[in-house]
């Protein structure tokens, strides 16, 4: 006999929708995902997409959602909490979109914003991962780095988010790789063995000279033209430059000692781990999905 | 009676083709342009495009070309000169593509490259503008800044190009404005009056914190979401951030005194002028077309 489903945890991001059905002990009974992220939905489509994703699940009424579904351009805006923020209050600030004719009672958690002039910033989804991290690493205080399309650097103190900053590293990499003049340097195999050599060179230059990024990026093209650098070398070099500049430019956030948690895609986090190692920093990789699920559970018990 | 045409000067860039017919005194008799830049031509199309552009001109046989037509993916590769380079030798290094059945005898000037490891760079077209600048400002020694899609910073000593560096400022602005998540902040009128306010703020932050660029760029989005910044403010701010970071990150190139020539589109140069003024630097704007034409004339007399 299958376990009774108690509630459903949902991560509704820009490009993906993932759901986990949990029993009353917090164990995952079922999980599913769909590409119907915020980016391809109109407001009116959300109820139908959620109902369809969960249609074969027996009982669950309680659905707790984090991520972009709560954005202004999402399903229903869940106004930001202001940083510094106590993340145990996320659930209290959730909004409840209507699902006419459905048993489902969805609630969407808010994101967190930072309004200080000159440090304005926003997050949606990462606040839930940070709450999850505080549950996975009880009592942790310090810098958390969340590599991704929009990397977040956050100062966490237990369940309190002190401040944070976003770097557009992942998005810049994709734009430059596919849309810029540098794309001509990426026409071959990007995964060859000298990707690592290029990455090491890029990390070094990025960390040492983050202020030169708009100039060092052009070295990708010049290196391909003048030194016959392979596409793999160029991809590694550009990735290293961008990750290195993100870290080098925010060195004043990096603590002198202790372990920095890296929350994100595991293989991307491994690149950041390599970069932080150049600064003599220990890191610990936490899979983003684990952090999200832990965060949704912690929010519901908040 | 129209003046006799002695030769034709041509600037064949990525997105444009421009030609000036000159008499033996160096005066422009005719000029024309076409959107048939390198970016939309196959190698085989060049002779026909040039013949058609110049078909109604009476006599000219001598056609001197600068720019991307000499790139590997252009008409005929004109191998780079190595920096440091004496720009009076450009013509000697020109290549002559074939024009079967035509009176026209085109020659394409080379670009300049810099092979030093870690400072690899390339230019095609700007070397001719720099030679032109040395003719327009005889004896000039110092930094020349050439704002554009790929901004060039060059150290010029008379007709000698000592070294140079490229920043991808203009291309990054266009990519971020049209393709990134920041595009959502540019849906309104970009030319409103608070563009100037945003620009000033961006310049300040860009010059002071160039190492933070990948993070400060995200403030464009956060400012629009949290502070209802207008599209014009956002456009000014992003432009200021990128120009400021280009200048702030290369401060060690900026001389302590003297006037810095800015060679490029005049309204873009005016933005750089404003930014350099924050560092207390005097600048002098030189229209890119004037520099190109002066450079092609000087090359031919080289």
- Given pLDDT bands bounded at 50, 70 and 90, which one contains residue A61? confident
Report the pLDDT averaged over residues B216-220: 97
Give the tens place of pLDDT for each residue, B103-114.
899 999 999 999
- Given pLDDT bands bounded at 50, 70 and 90, which one contains residue A101? confident
According to DSSP H, which parts of A25-125 are helical? Answer: 46-53
CB < 8 Å to B227, chain A = 115, 120
Distances (CA, A) of B245 to B128, B163, B204: 27, 20, 9
Interface contact flag, A214 B219, Cβ < 8 Å:
no
Q: Are B144 and A154 in contact (CB under 8 A)?
A: no
pLDDT number for residue B302: 61
Please give the mean pLDDT across all residues of chain B: 94
What sign results for the dihedral spanned by CA atoms A79, A84, A87, A92?
negative
* CATH for B1-110, options being 3.40.50.300, 3.30.420.300, 3.40.109.10, 2.40.290.10: 3.30.420.300
pLDDT number for residue A125: 97
Q: Please name the residue that has the structure tokens 């579904």.
A: A69
According to CATH, what is the number of the domain A1-111?
Answer: 3.30.420.300
Is the preceding omega at residue B173 within 30 degrees of 0, hence cis? Answer: no
Report the pLDDT averaged over residues A196-211: 97
Both tokens of B138, joined, read 């005889």
Q: How many CB pairs under 8 A join A and B?
A: 135
Interface contact flag, A245 B214, Cβ < 8 Å:
yes
Report angle CA A194, A195, A201 to the nearest 5 degrees.
90
Report the pLDDT averaged over residues A42-62: 89
Give the tens place of pLDDT for each residue, A248-279.
999 999 887 789 999 999 999 999 999 999 99
Catalogue the long-range contacts made by B102-107 (C-beta closer than 8 Å, 24 or more residues apart): B102/B47, B102/B51, B103/B61, B104/B50, B104/B51, B104/B54, B104/B60, B104/B61, B104/B63, B105/B61, B105/B62, B105/B63, B106/B10, B106/B50, B106/B63, B106/B64, B106/B65, B107/B62, B107/B63, B107/B64, B107/B65
Q: Are B180 and A171 in contact (CB under 8 A)?
A: yes
According to CATH, what is the number of the domain A125-302?
Answer: 3.30.420.310
Q: Are B18 and B33 in contact (CB under 8 A)?
A: yes
Is the preceding omega at residue A84 within 30 degrees of 0, hence cis? Answer: yes
Report the pLDDT averaged over residues A173-201: 95
Report the pLDDT averaged over residues A169-197: 95
Distance CA B68, CA B125 (A): 7
Interface contact flag, B167 A218, Cβ < 8 Å:
yes
Distance CA A191, CA A200 (A): 15
Residue B214 C-alpha from the chain's centroid? 24
Report the pLDDT averaged over residues A89-98: 97
Report the pLDDT averaged over residues A146-155: 97
Closest residue, chain A, to B153 (C-alpha): A215
Both tokens of B158, joined, read 């008379």
Interface contact flag, A211 B211, Cβ < 8 Å:
yes
- What are phi and psi for residue B130, nearest 5 degrees? -70, -40
pLDDT number for residue B118: 84
What residues contact A119, with CB distance under 8 A and at least 6 apart?
A: A163, A165
> A1 pLDDT exceeds 50?
no
Interface contact flag, B120 A222, Cβ < 8 Å:
yes
Give the tens place of pLDDT for each residue, B29-86.
999 999 999 999 999 999 999 999 998 886 668 999 999 999 999 999 999 999 999 9
The minimal CB distance from A179 to the residues B179, B211, B223 is found for B179
Three-state DSSP class for residue A33:
strand
- Given pLDDT bands bounded at 50, 70 and 90, which one contains residue A60? low
What was the ipTM of the complex prediction?
0.93
Interface contact flag, B167 A242, Cβ < 8 Å:
no
pLDDT number for residue B57: 81
pLDDT number for residue A233: 97
What residues contact B30, with CB distance under 8 A and at least 6 apart?
A: B5, B20, B21, B57
Give the tens place of pLDDT for each residue, B37-53.
999 999 999 999 999 99
Share of chain B above pLDDT 70, in %: 98
pLDDT number for residue A256: 78
Both tokens of B62, joined, read 């001598």
Same fold, A1-111 and A125-302: yes
- Give the domain ranges of chain A: 1-111, 125-302
Q: Bridge-partner residues for A30, per DSSP? A: A21
Q: Please name the residue that has the structure tokens 């759901």.
A: A19
Give the tens place of pLDDT for each residue, B131-143.
999 999 999 999 9
DSSP summary character for residue A212: G
What sign results for the dihedral spanned by CA atoms A83, A87, A89, A91?
positive
CB < 8 Å to B226, chain A = 80, 113, 115, 120, 122
Q: Are B215 and A163 in contact (CB under 8 A)?
A: no
The minimal CB distance from A168 to the residues B169, B217, B249 is found for B217
Distance CA A198, CA B78 (A): 28
CB < 8 Å to B228, chain A = none
Distance CA B32, CA B46 (A): 16
Both tokens of A194, joined, read 């000298």
> A53 pLDDT exceeds 60?
yes
- Given pLDDT bands bounded at 50, 70 and 90, which one contains residue A100? confident
pLDDT number for residue B66: 98
pLDDT number for residue B1: 46
Distance CA B157, CA B159 (A): 6
pLDDT number for residue B40: 92
The minimal CB distance from A166 to the residues B165, B166, B218 is found for B218
């Amino acid at each position: 006999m299958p376990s009774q489903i108690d509630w459903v945890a949902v991560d509704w991001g820009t490009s993906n929708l993932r759901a986990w059905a949990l029993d009353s002990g917090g164990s995952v009974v079922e999980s599913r995902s769909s590409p119907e992220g915020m980016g391809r939905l109109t407001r009116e489509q959300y109820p139908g997409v959620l109902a369809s994703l969960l249609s074969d699940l027996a009982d669950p009424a309680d659905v707790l959602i984090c991520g972009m579904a709560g954005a202004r351009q999402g399903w229903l805006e869940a106004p930001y909490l202001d940083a510094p923020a106590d993340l145990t209050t996320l659930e209290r600030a959730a909004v409840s979109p209507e699902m006419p004719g459905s048993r489902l009672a969805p609630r969407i958690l808010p994101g967190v914003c930072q309004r200080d002039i000159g440090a304005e910033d926003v997050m949606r989804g990462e606040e839930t991962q940070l709450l999850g991290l505080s549950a996975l690493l009880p009592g942790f205080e310090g810098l958390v780095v969340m590599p991704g399309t929009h990397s977040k650097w956050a100062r966490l103190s237990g369940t309190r988010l002190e401040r944070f900053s976003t770097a557009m590293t992942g998005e810049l990499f994709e734009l430059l790789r596919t849309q810029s003049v540098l794309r001509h340097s990426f026409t071959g195999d990007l995964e060859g063995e000298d990707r690592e050599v290029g990455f090491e060179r890029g990390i070094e230059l990025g960390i040492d000279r983050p202020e030169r990024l708009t100039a060092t990026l052009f070295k990708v093209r010049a290196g391909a033209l003048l030194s016959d650098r392979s596409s793999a070398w160029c991809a590694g070099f550009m990735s290293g430059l961008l990750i290195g500049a993100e870290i080098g430019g925010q060195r004043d956030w990096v603590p002198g000692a202790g372990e920095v948690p890296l929350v994100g895609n595991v293989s991307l986090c491994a690149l950041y781990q390599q970069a932080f190692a150049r600064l003599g920093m220990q890191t610990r990789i936490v899979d983003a999905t684990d952090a999200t699920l832990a965060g949704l559970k912690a929010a519901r018990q908040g």
